[in-house]
């Protein structure tokens, strides 16, 4: 595997980002640093004006127009954060692996169909009937089960387990130790065996341009499919139960959980540590706030919070009242005493 150290002139960055250059056009940039901890040979992104005072003298900045202070240089653009993404994409190329084929320590079944320029890193197992599209990278120590279909231009990080007969689309990124296609949690009480296990014979379909975070688990369907629609981004340590359907371009943040057969619409955001109850539906464009529980259906476009989740402003009003409960208690006690005195006086 070969890695490439990248350098780029400030003039070239300016052209790439359609920005305005202030300073030495031949300054070589090889990294990105924080504005308050500038490193020679780097460029520092700055998109919040309040941090200008913390900029180190002599820094090279990627920032908004007229924000470069005296003694500094850099590139001015309309949207520094968007420009930073383009710059990060450029520098991420130095971590890209050149295609190396199948590592000698990996095991590939003869029936597997391996596409052009596929990399299978050390210690991986590719089972019978697997199909892997061109330019896909399996970093190493990855299990790909029977009849799994992986699209083109995917990156699968170490320790990932892909159970039998699941489908991964094109340009997907699956981070380390994610498990996709394991059995859903299904049991029914039985007088003879206490709990009778429900066979899980369905599959998981992950569509194009999906990213799945570290340690995330996605269960196969009892029958039919668990679906992760295109463009969805899933953070680390997320649990998605059997037969869930997640709509296009949704965001599911760390430590969130979807119980079985729940449905997430298009463009939904589930913030960190939020949950959705089984058979519940979260409508298109809805937002479930951090540490909230959607125990019933959430209408499209609504922002909810709390446990159980309710309309966000209503939840905030209730929380505000709760914070004043000690004062309210004192007031109620004082009123009770006053009423009692009045009653005694009128006897």
Those residues whose C-beta lies under 8 Å from the C-beta of residue 165, and which sit 6 or more positions away, are 145, 146, 147, 148, 181, 203
Q: What is the four-CA torsion angle of 277, 279, 283, 286, rounded to 10 degrees?
A: 10
CB 62 within 8 A of CB 80: yes
Closest among 103, 185, 180 to 149, alpha carbons compared: 180
The residue written with tokens 């900029």 in the block is: 55
Q: How far apart (Å, rounded) are the C-alpha atoms in residues 41 and 31?
A: 7
Q: From 264, 278, 276, select the one nearest 233 (Cα to Cα).
A: 264
CA–CA gap between residue 29 and residue 96 (Å, rounded) = 19
Tell me how far apart the alpha carbons of residues 309 and 3 are, in angstroms, rounded to a whole number. 48
Residue 84 CA to residue 48 CA, distance in Å, equals 14
Q: Is 1 exposed, middle or buried (0-12, 13-18, 19+ CB in 10 A)?
A: middle
Structure tokens at 232: 């969805």
Distance CA 69, CA 39 (A): 17
Distance CA 170, CA 177 (A): 20
Q: Which two tokens stand for residue 330?
A: 């004192």
Q: How far is CA 7 from the centre of its chain?
A: 29
Catalytic residues: 242
DSSP 242: T
DSSP conformation letters of 137-184: EE-SS-EE-TT-EE-SS-EE-TT-EE-TT-EE-TT-EE-TT-EEEEPP
């Amino acid at each position: 595997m070969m890695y490439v150290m990248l350098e780029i002139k400030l003039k070239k960055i300016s052209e790439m980002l359609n920005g305005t250059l202030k300073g030495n056009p031949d300054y070589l940039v090889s990294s990105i640093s924080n504005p308050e901890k500038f490193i020679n040979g780097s460029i520092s992104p700055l998109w919040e004006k309040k941090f200008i005072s913390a900029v180190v003298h002599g820094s090279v900045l990627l920032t908004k127009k007229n924000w470069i202070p005296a003694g500094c240089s850099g590139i001015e653009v309309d949207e520094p954060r968007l420009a930073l993404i383009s710059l990060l994409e450029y520098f991420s190329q130095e971590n890209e692996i050149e295609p190396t084929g199948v590592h000698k320590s990996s095991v590939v079944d003869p029936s597997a169909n391996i596409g052009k320029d596929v990399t299978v890193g050390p210690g991986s197992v590719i089972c019978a009937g697997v199909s892997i599209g061109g330019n896909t990278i399996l970093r190493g120590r990855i299990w790909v089960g029977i009849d799994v279909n992986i699209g083109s231009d995917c990156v699968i990080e170490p320790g990932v387990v892909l159970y039998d007969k699941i489908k991964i689309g094109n340009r997907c990124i699956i981070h380390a130790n994610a498990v996709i296609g394991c059995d859903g949690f299904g049991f029914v009480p039985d007088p003879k065996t206490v709990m009778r296990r429900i066979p899980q014979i369905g599959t998981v379909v992950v569509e194009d341009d999906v990213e799945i975070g570290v340690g995330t688990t996605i269960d196969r369907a009892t029958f039919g499919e668990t679906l992760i629609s295109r463009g969805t981004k899933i953070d680390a340590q997320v649990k998605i139960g059997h037969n869930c359907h997640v709509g296009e371009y949704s965001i599911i943040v760390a430590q969130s959980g979807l119980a079985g057969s729940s449905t997430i619409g298009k463009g939904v955001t589930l913030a960190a540590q939020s949950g959705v109850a089984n058979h519940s539906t979260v409508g298109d464009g809805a937002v479930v706030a951090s540490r909230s529980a959607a125990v019933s259906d959430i209408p499209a476009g609504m922002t909810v919070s709390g446990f159980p989740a309710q309309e966000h402003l209503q939840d905030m009003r209730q929380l505000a009242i709760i914070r004043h409960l000690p004062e309210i208690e004192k007031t109620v006690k004082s009123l009770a005493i006053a009423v009692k005195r009045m009653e005694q006086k009128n006897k």
